[in-house]
Every structure is written in C-alpha cells, then in structure tokens.
Amino acid sequence: MEYFDTSPIELVGYAASLCVLLSFFMKNIRALRIVNSIGCALFVLYGILLPTIPVALTNGAIIGVNVYYLWIHKK
C-alpha cells in the first residue's frame, strides 16, 4: 500500500493545497482570505521544510496581500 507511505512534509503540502482549494469555493471574501491565508501559511512551512524558497516567498507575499485587504476592509 504505497498510498499510505506519505511523509509528514507531503502531508503539510496536501493540507496546504486543500485549504487553498477550499478557499475558492467560498462566497464570503473575508472567509476566503482567512482560509487562503491558512493554506498559504502551510505552503510557507512546506517551502521551508523542502526547502523550496520560491514556494515559501510567494506564499508569504500572498499572506501579506490577504492581511492587507482584511485590514483595510476592517476599517
């Protein structure tokens, strides 16, 4: 059963992918940005663990964009 021979790093990547995917099904933009940020944070962790710096940097920047828009819409 090779399907269950998954490393913890791969599980982080799958969880990140699932969060990002789920965020696109959300109609509420605030919820979308929060769930997407969680997925991106997991991708940052994934990028650090691999290590794949472009993955970590890109998703870190996306978190920044999400936080920015959450912040300006909060006012």
The structural domains of the chain, with segments of one domain joined by +, span: 8-74
Q: What is the pLDDT of residue 2?
A: 58
CA pair distance 56, 31, nearest whole angstrom: 22
Examine the pLDDT at 1 and tell me if it is beyond 50. Answer: no
State pTM to two decimals.
0.89
Average pLDDT over residues 16-28: 96
Q: What is the mean pLDDT of residues 65-69?
A: 97
For the chain, where are the alpha helices, taking DSSP H only?
8-23, 29-49, 53-74
Q: Is the pLDDT of residue 45 over 60?
A: yes
